A and B are shown apart, each in its own frame.
Chain A
């Protein structure tokens, strides 16, 4: 029984979402280029100084010029790359996940870490991970309890907390 290396590679490649096409490559290059350009302008306002006496902007200026030039090159030659991934319906999961993280960070200083942690783990388990209700409740309660014991009781780290 032999394993064909090509078919194995193909199988792994199948697990990746389809690539997102030339426009995504172009978009990535534009974003990187804009960051580089903003950096160039920012460095210029900081002041370049002279080579004998470099100002605070000289080094970031050089770096940003390189970034900008390479981004332009990417926009020109990188269109046929296949290393970008299409956003799919499951990308919505990631967006929801990020939202829960932001909410967590926002309410943590107000109501302590226990309830936000409980909510975060529960949402991730039940809605993002499609676990059953029972195991979602059990695992999230267990996790937060374990964290309470570890961070608060054993390590005595000053986390903002309710209890």
Chain B
């Protein structure tokens, strides 16, 4: 409890307050601007975090992440262009409300729902995280091997697009992580006798290339939607009747978001879809959905914020990132010389509680910004992508150079940028690759240490209760959909 209260002391330091504000403002901005998502933005800003205190850096990056969830709503409602994937379902009812001249109501409900969802999730995080961390203190290499495999494979299979491709991308990430010196034997692996690769590939150029530059290159191909004039926003405060109608949706959305956010591969997008579906199924008149149902905005917006917050739990307690953005946070922590894991809460309580408590504050800042200042953010929509692209590219290239003052890193970013672009063109998600790269060395070390413990017998993983359970769960998750598909096909055949 002492750590929790001290955490507020950390947040309230003027420097950290400022970084929290910077983070949520940037988050709102990029949430509003279609194109760059939170992952790309965090990747591009990674070099800046080198010069900043660890606590401030993570507070800022976290602010970007949950701030983007607020910002993404604005374009969904006003332009029916989801700024973020997690706001896609908000479009259905949000834009319908805007067409009825109730854009303000939609934005207001979304902001209030986001605030409540975020706050409920932070309370959950505050209570749950230390407990998980204390349990995880007993974890050995086999548990970590199983958990990281679970994380990588779930992220790969839950994402949109081809699962096969996602797992292949994850495999390539694991392979890239092996480049450099082998920690056990000292042998050089896949370095092609290059001195620049002798210590392995740095996380920063990979993340900046695949997420940042790759996305910019991909967006260059004129896929910008026609710019529409945003609907007028008036009367942002929802009426009491609206609030009463949205109450249940906000409550359920908070819980759904919190739970799905904790699971690997879950997170904001999935939880917004599930929360919307739940409300539609529960509704007495489901036909209202898609025609401006207030719950249709409240549920997904509440859930995506709750999930964005709770996805910090696996990272801060186990050191296992639950999604691609958390993989970037993991990288940012490593840059600061901090290994996320169960020791974090005892070894760096200022960071642990400082970051969590900054979210209380960040959510209040976002609520303030999204209700009265919504007009300002709408104006930002007028910035043309063509102007933004070269500026972000320059930040990326100069930024990665400043990390180690090496031109080689600029070339690496370009290589991974092109790879990211091609992956998108060929239907491969870059997320699983980055996540697998981040977890790669942890996973390899854990697997090899486990093999030593088990005397070379891989079946040993199943003899320990936690690693065994995780692996069995993984097998069920992976095999179940395939079995279901087979059963359905057989039934269809019988019907024919």
A residues within 8 Å of B by Cβ?
Answer: 1-5, 8, 15-17, 20, 24-25, 27-28, 32, 35-36, 39, 42, 46-47, 50-60, 63-64, 66-67, 70-71, 73-74, 77-78, 81, 83-85, 87-88, 90-91, 93-94, 97-98, 101-102, 104-105, 108-109, 113, 117, 120-121, 124-125, 128-131, 135, 139-140, 143, 147, 151, 155, 157-159
Is B140 among interface residues, defined by CB-CB distance under 8 A?
no
B-chain residues with CB within 8 Å of residue A109 when the two chains form the complex: 407
Contact (Cβ within 8 A) B168 A32 = yes
The complex places the Cα of A2 from the Cα of B100 at a distance, in Å, of 10
Instruction: Say how far B47's CB is from chain A's closest CB, in angstroms.
Output: 9
Instruction: Say how far B283's CB is from chain A's closest CB, in angstroms.
Output: 15
A-chain residues with CB within 8 Å of residue B385 when the two chains form the complex: 129
Contact (Cβ within 8 A) B187 A56 = yes
Instruction: Say how far A40's CB is from chain B's closest CB, in angstroms.
Output: 10
The complex places the Cα of A102 from the Cα of B290 at a distance, in Å, of 47
Asked if A67 meets B290 with Cβ closer than 8 Å, knowing A54-B184, A74-B168, A159-B398, the reply is no
Contact (Cβ within 8 A) A70 B171 = yes
Is B372 among interface residues, defined by CB-CB distance under 8 A?
no
Is B195 among interface residues, defined by CB-CB distance under 8 A?
no
Contact (Cβ within 8 A) A74 B407 = no
B interface majority secondary structure: helix
Minimum CB distance partner of B89 in chain A = A5
The complex places the Cα of A67 from the Cα of B170 at a distance, in Å, of 9
Within 361-397 of B, Cβ neighbours of A (below 8 Å) are at 384-387, 389-391, 393-394, 397
A-chain residues with CB within 8 Å of residue B184 when the two chains form the complex: 54, 56
Asked if A83 meets B398 with Cβ closer than 8 Å, knowing A59-B447, A88-B221, the reply is no
Is B15 among interface residues, defined by CB-CB distance under 8 A?
no
The 9 closest A-B pairs by CB, nearest first: A129-B386, A83-B427, A52-B456, A51-B456, A124-B390, A67-B171, A56-B187, A56-B182, A105-B410
Minimum CB distance partner of A128 in chain B = B220
A-chain residues with CB within 8 Å of residue B397 when the two chains form the complex: 101, 104-105
Contact (Cβ within 8 A) B162 A81 = yes
Q: List 11 A-B contacts (CB under 8 A).
A: A51-B458, A52-B455, A52-B456, A54-B448, A74-B162, A77-B164, A94-B220, A102-B411, A105-B397, A124-B386, A124-B393
B-chain residues with CB within 8 Å of residue A88 when the two chains form the complex: 221
Asked if A16 meets B451 with Cβ closer than 8 Å, knowing A67-B175, A143-B390, the reply is no
How many chain B residues have a CB neighbour from A under 8 Å? 70
Within 127-175 of B, Cβ neighbours of A (below 8 Å) are at 161-162, 164-165, 167-168, 171-172, 174-175
Minimum CB distance partner of A125 in chain B = B390
Asked if A54 meets B178 with Cβ closer than 8 Å, knowing A16-B223, A74-B165, A124-B390, the reply is no
Minimum CB distance partner of A135 in chain B = B387
Asked if A113 meets B398 with Cβ closer than 8 Å, knowing A15-B225, A54-B451, the reply is yes
Instruction: Say how far B339's CB is from chain A's closest CB, in angstroms.
Output: 20
B-chain residues with CB within 8 Å of residue A25 when the two chains form the complex: 427
Contact (Cβ within 8 A) B96 A3 = yes
Contact (Cβ within 8 A) B217 A98 = yes
Contact (Cβ within 8 A) B172 A35 = yes
Minimum CB distance partner of B222 in chain A = A90
The complex places the Cα of A54 from the Cα of B225 at a distance, in Å, of 53
B-chain residues with CB within 8 Å of residue A94 when the two chains form the complex: 217-218, 220-221, 421
The complex places the Cα of A109 from the Cα of B406 at a distance, in Å, of 9
Instruction: Say how far B153's CB is from chain A's closest CB, in angstroms.
Output: 11
Instruction: Say how far A88's CB is from chain B's closest CB, in angstroms.
Output: 7
The complex places the Cα of A8 from the Cα of B439 at a distance, in Å, of 38
